[in-house]
Amino acid sequence: MAKRKPKLAVWKFASCDGCQLSLLDCEDELLALADEIEIAQFLEASQAVVRGPYDLSLVEGSITTPQDAERIQRVRRVSKHLVTIGACATAGGIQALRNFQDVKEFTAAVYARPEYIRTLERSTPISAHVPVDFELNGCPIDKGQLLEVIGAFLNHRRPQIRSHSVCVECKRRGTVCVMVAQGIPCLGPVTHAGCGALCPAYRRGCYGCFGPMESPNTESLGGWWKRLGVPAEDLVRVYRTFQTGAEAFRAASEAHDKEKG
């Protein structure tokens, strides 16, 4: 008898769908992947739902409602391995900007029937609710890294995801440093690799889609940006975007926020 195929499940919480779309964007690999694994639960792609437990669950999105806080517990119970995909699931996503807002201001914002809406005060990553086996960051995630993570878990090894900065990717790509050569403010030195150093290749500074690298020196980078004439409020905003809930970026944004005065 053939060996049982491992079961893959894809779950969605508050998100834009872009990270699970990355799986469908693996046009060259998708059918081969489906030969190796059973896509047992992936509602964006299929009506067929196979019961759990699942060998690998990919979780997209952050927790923002009381119902979702319960649902993630059920997902964890039926998942042997649970991997977060993307900035929302890993760090709370751009919707974690609400975490900095005065909640009263939000509620006071005029709305036709606010009583119809139920939501939590904060947008939190999956790891704030359940144990997570691996976090794959990115806004959106990189397809190549996604395939590496799926392959690794199905073969019982750790994923080979380098934790160095975007700078290393620029060197590899042969892109001349946009900050040194052109004076363009760039988050590359503190940002986790994964995108392939896209923005500098398009003559643009990195804006941090992949979140903090392993040991980011945000204080030093802040000095460089200021010497390029960037005001503190811009530094606050750049750290408070897609990775606002990631600890190193949150701390950097708060440090620069204090400088504003």
Site of interaction with other proteins (CB under 8 A): 12-22, 24-25, 27-28, 30-31, 34, 39, 42-48, 64-69, 93-95, 97-98, 101, 103, 106-107, 109-121, 139-140, 195, 198-199, 201-204, 207, 209, 234, 237, 241-242
Cβ proximity of 212 and 241 under 8 Å = no
Q: Distance of alpha carbon 52 from its chain centroid, rounded?
A: 25
* Nearest in space to 193 (alpha carbons), one of 177, 174, 209, 176: 209
| Shortest spacing between CB 175 and other proteins, in angstroms | 11
Q: How many CB atoms lie within 10 A of CB 152?
A: 18
Q: Please state the closest distance from residue 211 (CB atom) to other proteins, in A.
A: 14
**In the complex, least distance from residue 144 CB atom to other proteins, rounded to whole angstroms:** 12
Task: Output the CA–CA distances (angstroms, integers) from residue 198 to 16, 27, 62, 167, in the order listed.
Answer: 21, 21, 25, 11
Least Å from the CB of residue 215 to other proteins: 25
33/217 with CB nearer other proteins? 33
Three-class SS state of 257: helix
Of 10 and 132, the one with the shorter C-beta distance to other proteins is: 10
The residue (of 35 and 156) whose beta carbon lies closer to other proteins is 35
Give the separation between CA 8 and CA 6, rounded to whole angstroms: 7
Sequence-distant (≥ 6) Cβ neighbours of residue 183 within 8 angstroms: 228
Contact 230, 200 (CB under 8 A): no
What CA–CA distance (Å, rounded) separates 116 from 124? 22
Cis before 53? omega within 30: yes
CB of 208 to other proteins, least distance (A): 11
Q: How far is the CB of 15 from other proteins (least distance, A)?
A: 7
Residue bearing tokens 């004439």:
229
Indicate the residue among 184 and 251 with the shorter CB distance to other proteins: 184
Residues 6+ apart with CB under 8 A from 65: 14, 118, 119, 120
Q: What CA–CA distance (Å, rounded) separates 228 from 107?
A: 38
Is the CB of 1 or the CB of 112 nearer to other proteins? 112
Q: For residues 48 and 180, which CB has a smaller minimum distance to other proteins in the complex?
A: 48
Pairing of strands 38-42, 7-12: parallel
Quote the least distance from Cβ 140 to other proteins, whole Å: 4
Task: CB nearer to other proteins: give 78 or 217.
Answer: 78
